[in-house]
Structure 1
Amino acid sequence: MTRTFLRVLAYLAISTALYATPSASSQLPPSKDPFYAVPDDIEKFAPGEILRHRQPPDVISAFGSPPSNLQRSHQILYRTNDDEGNATATVVTVLVPNKPDLSKVVSYQVAEDAVTIDCAPSHGFLFGTGNDPLLGSRTLQTQLLLLQGALEEGWVVIVADYEGPKGAFYATKLAGHAVLDGIRAVIQSAQYTGVASNSQVALCGYSAGAAVTQWAAELQSTYAPELKIAGAALGGGCNSISVPVSKVNKERVAGFIPVILLGLAAQYPEVGEVIEKHLKPSAKEDFYRPLHQCLDANIAFFNGRDIIGMFDDWVRFSSEPAIIKVFAQSNQGRQISQIPMFFHAAVQDEAVPIAQMDKMVIDYCAKGGNVLYRRDIATNLRHTSYGIVGTPIAMDWIRGLFNGNLPKPGCSTITGTTSEIDPEFLKIFPKTIADALVASSKKLGGGV
């Protein structure tokens, strides 16, 4: 259990320090916003059915600057199902560019990596939220910045709050359901979004967002077989990573241990009971901090901390039947996706070992998957920097899908030598932002 405990523990989200952020947003956080409330009669609605919709209560912006090619945006609350098939509701953000092709949709799964609804991208994308010391996430805003590449193509971009109303990080089926039901909702929203009901849809994500993208792709054939998914692009992450907790404890990303445990506790109360049973009283205040703050604050607060030492006996805790059962359940019910898949990764990725990516691709191909696997061998790229450099690579593959260049059946592997951001991609940004992205990708080349 200790060795296989946190399968996506190493999915570090993209993180940069671009430039000053604006003052904090005055908007209500989702936990206090009635728009997010799950209706009492949620069971009577079908998965993907729209419950309510609105324009966002504030401007969509990355580091205080609205995307230059964003015409309008919408938020949609819709029915979905959690890990155990229970009805719930969550929100999808719809970004419509100038001169849009309303028949092409990219469902982008961000790396949220938090355990409160107040960290959801529908809120984190709003003007000013990035400057909140606890709930702000520069990581999230950086991903919004990179999404401008899809908007520039004229594609509609949708981003689901896939952790649901309880912030259930690593609830794998909930995440997959939320993504698929978000697509269902959006293709029913033509009356106000304009999105065509017969749209081509591509899935895309990096790091933890790649894991969620993969979960959605694997559940699609049984959960939402009517959806026509053109393909899925996943970078820097897969759902088969296995990282020993001891390798993460006392390290920069030690905070992912409580985040994943608390995320599962949000979906499975029995996990919360076991945590409470074994957590030392003196450690409780610190351990539960993620319930009130987002990714960036968690990384800073738990940097180098001894999380294992917060428990009375880590071996006994991790051997509890409830813990073993829930982690096993989280990885059941999925199958090899039959839609075209594009996996791309940096060989020097220190967070997601390339050997794990290789193994997953071999497994996919042995079971009949349709995979193009790109291994970038540039020595300067690590997990975080490849999150920036790899975005245009994923967009190029999706462009091919939308243009009718269907992937060849079967599997193939290519070697990439990309070492810097595509200059054409940088042209969509103002010079100050483009320069900051280049500087950040180089600064982050040596690690996270």
Structure 2
Amino acid sequence: MPIRTRVAGALTAGLLLSAATPTAYAAETDTATHPGDVVTSAPTEFHPLPGQWTNTRAWHITYRSTTAKGGPNVVSGTVIVPNDGRTGPRPLVTYAVGTVGMGDSCAPSAGFPYGTTVEATLINQIVQRGWAVAVTDYEGLGTPGDHTYTVGRAEGTAMLDAARAAQRLGIPGVDADSPVGIMGYSQGGQASSWAAELHDSYAPELKVKGTATGGVPADLLKVAKADDGGLGSGLIFMAAAGQNAAFPELNLDAYLNPAGKALVDYFRTNCVAIDSIAGSFKKITDLTVKNPLEQPDWQARLNESHLGTHAPDAPVYLYHGTLDELIPYDVGQALRADWCARGANVSWHALPLLGHIGGVTVGALPAADWLADRFAGRGTGGNC
């Protein structure tokens, strides 16, 4: 499929985001009938830091994907390819970032042209290996509607369909024969782990060679219990808003007191740096009239995002900081145990004395090296 540019000129991702409307997407999806079909594409730029040059070509895309309930949706993202003249097959990594916030301005694609996307330096390390990278914005982050933050199935399909969309752009060397890697940490770890579990049923045609995933919030109820009243307490309310976006019948507003409603409304339009300050050290009971996490319908929906119930069909590199202050280390250990018990090929790596941010900075390079071995066809026996 040739590259389809539906917006004249080299628009930035930010301009494209602001121009997009639900009506426009509805019209485009008449021809984007399959998951991974490209809805719109336009040239953009990829800068890891403000003004930092990279020898790359990049496209802001919107593409067809699937909601947690199985319906069609449209997700945005960015495809980045080294401008190295290579025309033969090259690996493709579908990459999911950690928590950035819930406002559209927080989307990775909105920051790439300006060098303000936090994980862009890590993504650049992958691009500089000669790999193409597709970075999803996730459902509702950069497209109409609220971001379905922490809804695992929606994140997993968004990642797999970003890979499909990259293959359908018509980029030389990036096509259905490209070996695919899946990568992400924190929220991106949840998304990449879900993509790994969904691959064999949702996108089996993708030639996935392995998944590198870290800091994974595999059990949302356990993470919420650990974060309540602590540094990461705001993440609980962001997650509640994300679950409510996917499942409006949960009726989050009915559980929030005025202070809770104000905080959640604030989260819906702001990014993680300020959100973490506004939301820290708050108890669920301080912001609710009744704790939604104690209700059967909420517990059922949160448990739908529980990982470890299905073995990924390709090898997995799983890593976690032993002092992670946001996602308890034993949550990562439990995911390892669950996958191993189901016969998955898991290479488990504990990161001694590292917290959540240390885990991504120290763990990213070995994870990418591990993916390089998978692309090279080298075997891995795992360490279950």
When normalised by structure 2's length, the TM-score is 0.86
1:13-47: CA deviations, max 9, x gaps?
A: xxxxxxxxxxxx99447355349953257376111
User: Does residue 65 of the first structure (1) align with residue 51 of the second (2)?
Assistant: yes
Alignment of 1:43-442 (within 5 A): 45-56=33-44, 59-66=45-52, 68-99=53-84, 100=86, 102-127=89-114, 130=116, 141-164=117-140, 165=143, 166=145, 167-190=147-170, 192=171, 195-240=174-219, 242-243=221-222, 245=224, 247-271=226-250, 273=251, 275-314=252-291, 317-331=292-306, 335-377=310-352, 379=353, 381-408=354-381, 411-412=382-383
CA 1:71–1:29: 2 relative to 1, 3 Å = closer
| Number of aligned positions between the proteins | 366
AA matched with 1:370: N
Aligned-residue offset at 1:302: 1.5
* Cα distance, 1:172 vs structure 2: 1.4
Distance 2:340 2:268 in 1: 39
Matches of 2:223 and 2:208, distance apart in 1: 34
> Compared with structure 1, are the counterparts of its residues 98 and 161 closer, same or farther at alpha carbon in structure 2 (3 Å cutoff)?
same
* Aligned-pair CA distance for 1:115: 2.7
8 A contact 1:62–1:144 mirrored in 2: yes
Distance in 1, Cα, partners of 2:163 & 2:13: 29
Q: CA RMSD in A?
A: 2.7
Unaligned runs of 5+ in 1: 1-24, 131-140, 414-448
> Is the 8 Å Cα contact of residues 138 and 155 (structure 2) preserved in structure 1?
yes
| CA distances 1:366-422 after superposition (whole Å, capped 9, x unpaired) | 211011112233x3x2221121111111111011111221223xx316xxxxxxxxx
In structure 1, what residue type is equivalent to 2:149? F
**Sequence identity of aligned pairs in percent?**
26
Once the two structures are overlaid, the 10-residue window that deviates more, 220-229 or 106-115, is 106-115
Q: 1:194 to 1:26 in 2, by over 3 A?
A: closer
Distance apart, 1:86 and its partner CA: 0.7
- 5+ long unaligned stretches in structure 2: 1-11
Q: Check whether the contact 1:36–1:90 (CA below 8 A) recurs between aligned residues.
A: no
Letter in 1 for 2:99: E
Q: Following TM superposition, by how much is the alpha carbon of 1:53 offset from its aligned partner in structure 2, in angstroms?
A: 0.9
Tell me the TM-score normalised to structure 1 length.
0.75
Aligned residue identity for 2:137: D
**Structure 2: which amino acid aligns with 1:162?**
Y
Give the counterpart letter for 1:372 in structure 2. Answer: S
SS of the equivalent of 1:288 reads helix
CA spacing shift, 1:351–1:176, aligned 2, 3 Å:
same
**Whole-angstrom CA distance in 2 between matches of 1:36 and 1:124:** 25
Aligned-partner Cα distance in 2 for 1:333–1:146: 26
Q: 1:36 to 1:144 in 2, by over 3 A?
A: farther
